[in-house]
A and B are shown apart, each in its own frame.
Chain A
Amino acid sequence: MSENALLETHDVRVRYHDTHDALRNINLTFCPGEVTALIGPSGCGKSTFLRCLNLMNREIPHCHIDGEIDYHGQNINTKKQNLYDVRRNIGMVFQSPNPFRKSIYDNIAFAPRQHGIKDRARLDEIVEQSLRRAALWDEVKDVLNKSAYALSGGQRQRLCIARTLAMNPEVVLMDEPCSALDPISTHAIEETIGAIKAEGICVIIVTHNIEQAARISDKTAFFLLGDCIEWNTTEVIFNNPHDQRTKDYLTGRFG
């Protein structure tokens, strides 16, 4: 498909307990430096799809992912694929902020340390850089040894973003990252999304907030009942959707 596609899905299908189809035939392409918003009513499968992209669905018992997920042209949806490699390169930020019960510093340094970086100066650098990228450095630079639970909800979520960025991922998946946050924190996170997009990171974000999708995304995919109804540039989706159901959803007729 696209020339510089980073992540591409071919006929991705998710089943629970062999019978129930949660997701059918999803064909989407994601490029570097591009923000894609996945929208749709609750239970439409957008989060399930997001959790396929870093194979987090593998952790759920009785959940099967069929189809191809190509990362750099290589199908990662195979039995042999090393899950840890995939997740290092395709990071994820969750709906409710879930920092580790560790210090702010260790929240970020923990994963790099597990992946073999032991040098203290290098870790300091990673921590500072990641916190700067998530626009949190100025607020926490003097309290790095404090527990992450001393932070506010918005700060915790930015810490989680920083933790993900510390792995230098090429793709960042976000599952409704602002749904538990106030407008100011939401704004801060949207700024961060814009900044990491400018760095060339591919951002895929699930959101219930249609205005948010319009504000920050380049492309939008509309999901309904396990199908991807429409996928196009955000401009087309919001101004001139081809499918009536997309139009109905965006104008608030359902969902």
Chain B
Amino acid sequence: MTKSNGAETMKYSQRSIRHAQRNDKIATGVLTAIVAAIFVLLISLIVYIIASGANKAFDLQFLTSKPEQFKEGGGIGPELFNSFYLLVLTLLISLPLSLGAAIFLVEYAPDNEVTHAVKTAIEVLASLPSIVVGLFGFLLFVISFGWGFSILSGALALTIFNIPLLVRVIQQALESVPQSQRDAGLALGLSRWETTVHILLPCAMPAIITGVILSAGRVFGEAAALIYTAGQSAPALDFTNFNLSSYACPWNIWRPAETLAVHIWKINSEGVVPDLAAVSNGSAAVLMICVLLFNLLARWFGRHAERKLMSE
């Protein structure tokens, strides 16, 4: 290469570097602006919801007392309990099923059309509108099985809603475990099951737990799937009552159970209490705070578990 040619190349490349640097700055600026806008929007939404309901949401009386039909001053005690009870039941049913399905799909299922069809079906189910799940649950559990508006019907509807999400989360968590971990287990003469349970699941656990908690947040805030399954009434609960067939017994799975999210929908659509707005805002704030806590918990746990796994 001659001298002048070298200088030419240098000049040219400097110009293109300047060009690239300018483009990089523009792109960074635009992307930062987009993120900032989304951030401001979301934060103001959260702050607004919590601020409007704050005086109620941090009032123990509101959180524990029963709702009123016509007077003001009603609380959300039973609704809050119902939301958590339904969530726990839903996770108890959906987690083992999803875990089994995901393990089968990732570790055992042969690579063929049937498996692909099942995976596609799960993806389709994951995007099924929750009102459709709710109406399906209404027809099947409430009417056909004759279980009426009950916690059991609601929990099963939520299970249908939750399983595809959980299967996908666990599937992705297992798939992201390096193949070399599988090889290591199998090469030591361990069975596929031993390898999965003792090596792959611990590796995937942080991602699985994070996913489960996030899905719990979605289940907790779900209303449409419950309106026609768990019902829209919340019988007053008596925590000293352990008669499982009584409507006042909190643990009775045959009683109707309006959750927090359904409560918000109901008082806004047909509520007649004078302090309707305050109750609605308070409930929304409580719901928001719970879901926020779920998310923070998921993040904290994911980070903690990851750190524990990698070093310690």
Contacts and interface: CB of A to CB of B under 8 A. Distances in A.
A87 B180 contact: no
A197 B186 CA distance: 24
B10 to A, nearest CB: 37
Nearest to A87: B189
B113 interface: no
Interface in B158-189: 178, 180-189
Given A98-B180, A101-B310, A150-B311, A87 B202 contact: no
Nearest to B183: A94
Nearest to B177: A101
B178 A167 contact: no
Contacts of A102: 202
Contacts of B190: 84, 111, 114
B194 A114 contact: yes
B278 to A, nearest CB: 51
B110 interface: yes
A164 interface: yes
Nearest to A58: B186
Contacts of A54: 187
Contacts of A62: 111
Interface string A131-150: 00000000000000011011
Q: Which of B184, B194, B203 has the most CB of A within 10 A?
A: B184
B270 interface: no
Task: Tell me the dominant secondary structure on chain B's binding face.
Answer: helix
A99 B191 CA distance: 17
Contacts of A88: 188-189
Given A88-B189, A101-B203, A146 B184 contact: no
B312 interface: yes
B110 A100 contact: no
Contacts of A98: 178, 180-181, 183-184
Contact of B189 (A61, A100, A115, A150): A115
Contacts of A13: none
A219 interface: no
Nearest to B184: A98
A238 interface: no
Given A85-B189, A110-B198, A101 B180 contact: no
Interface in B229-254: none
Given A92-B183, A114-B198, A163-B188, 10 more contacts: A59-B182, A59-B183, A84-B190, A87-B187, A100-B181, A100-B199, A111-B190, A147-B309, A147-B310, A164-B188
13 contacts: A54-B187, A56-B186, A84-B190, A94-B184, A98-B178, A101-B181, A101-B309, A101-B310, A111-B189, A146-B311, A147-B309, A147-B312, A149-B311
